[in-house]
Amino acid sequence: MGSCCPDSVVTSEMKRNLLYCMSVSKFHQLIKKIETVHGGICNDIEDSYLSPEACNVWFNKEIDRKLPFQEKHVLQQGSILGNLEKIGALKRCDKNVECCEIDPEEKGDDKNVPAVVEFGAGRGYLTQMLADCYGVKKVYLVERKSYKLKADRSLRQKENLVLERMRIDIEDLNLNAVESLHGVPYVATGKHLCGPATVHYTLIS
Ligand SMILES: C[S@@+](CC[C@H](N)C(=O)[O-])C[C@H]1O[C@@H](n2cnc3c(N)ncnc32)[C@H](O)[C@@H]1O
């Protein structure tokens, strides 16, 4: 360990370096261990591909934005959101997209609308679709890299939406320290979150 850190502090960079230094055979052993654990936990999870009605504005390309539209990603995002809706984590917005944002009658219910934390958010397109189709009011994008923030710019134009982008490694994230999330129910999402980040994300949320 480097002299700059006390012995008990193991940073994400140190862990990454350990991985990079592994021999090929040790790396294969690690993969086998992960597959065994995954097989033991996840063997009864069924594939569930959904195209929820709430996302029709996106499926039908009715969103007039300068955001890139890639069908494959839109279908994947829609399915993630559909599955979250199916398990009751998201409520669909019955009316049109705009009314989700401005219906004054719904204002009193804001407390019950969950915030959304997207892990490994990349450019934030999953959250963009979520905000367009499910009328969420508070979103947190967790991402360690810096990207062009096209979706962020579009999201920030939504009147009733609060957006926070946290540039941090998920491993170092303590959601209890995020004041604006105190007492707020939240849904944790992620798409194509790779490697150990999935483990940290599962542990945090
Ligand atoms: C394959 S990309 C997916 C991006 C986006 N979710 C999507 O579907 O377009 C994975 C993203 O997760 C981020 N990521 C991976 N591990 C991370 C970690 N430990 N902490 C924060 N971000 C992480 C990467 O930087 C990358 O942007």
Is 47 part of a structural domain of the chain? no
CATH classification of the domain holding 157 = 3.40.50
- Could you report the predicted ipTM of this complex, rounded to two decimals? 0.98
Residue 173 makes CB contacts below 8 A (sequence gap 6+) with 142, 166, 200, 204
| Domain contains 181 | yes
- Say what the pLDDT of residue 33 is: 93
Please give the tally of structural domains in the chain: 1
Atom of ligand 1 nearest to the CA of 120: 12
Ligand 1 centroid to Cα of residue 167, in Å, is 11
Q: What is the pLDDT, as a whole number, of residue 119?
A: 95
Output the CA 42–ligand 1 centroid distance in Å: 22
Q: What pLDDT is attached to residue 166?
A: 96
Q: Is the CB of 16 under 6 A from ligand 1?
A: no
In a domain, 29, yes or no: no
Could you read off the pLDDT of 149-187 as tens digits, one per residue?
888 998 999 988 999 999 999 988 999 999 999 999 999
Establish if 176 belongs to a structural domain: yes
41 versus 122: the higher-pLDDT residue is 122
The string of DSSP codes covering 18-54 is HHHHS-HHHHHHHHHHHHHHHHHHHTTPPP-----GG
Q: How far is the CA of 121 from the centre of ligand 1 (A)?
A: 6
Ligand 1 neighbourhood includes 191 CB (under 6 angstroms): yes
How far apart, in whole angstroms, are the C-alpha atoms of residue 96 and residue 112?
20
Q: Which residue, 106, 103, 170, 100, is CA-closest to 129?
A: 100
Mean pLDDT, the chain, as a whole number? 83
Distance 192 CA to ligand 1 centre (A): 7
147 alpha carbon to ligand 1 midpoint, in Å?
A: 11
Ligand 1 pocket mutation, candidates 12, 126, 145, 171, criterion most atoms within 8 A of CB: 145
CA nearest ligand 1 atom 11, residue: 120
**Burial track 10-31 (b if 16+ CB lie within 10 A, e otherwise):** eebeeeeeeeeeeeeeeeeeee
Is any ligand 1 atom within 6 A of the Cβ of residue 118?
A: no
Please check whether residue 118 lies inside any domain of the structure: yes
The parent domain of residue 60 ranges over 53-204
Assess whether the C-beta atom of 122 lies below 6 angstroms from ligand 1.
yes
Is residue 102 situated within a structural domain? yes
Is residue 32, in this structure, part of any structural domain at all?
A: no
Is any ligand 1 atom within 6 A of the Cβ of residue 4? no
Per the domain annotation, does 131 fall within a domain? yes
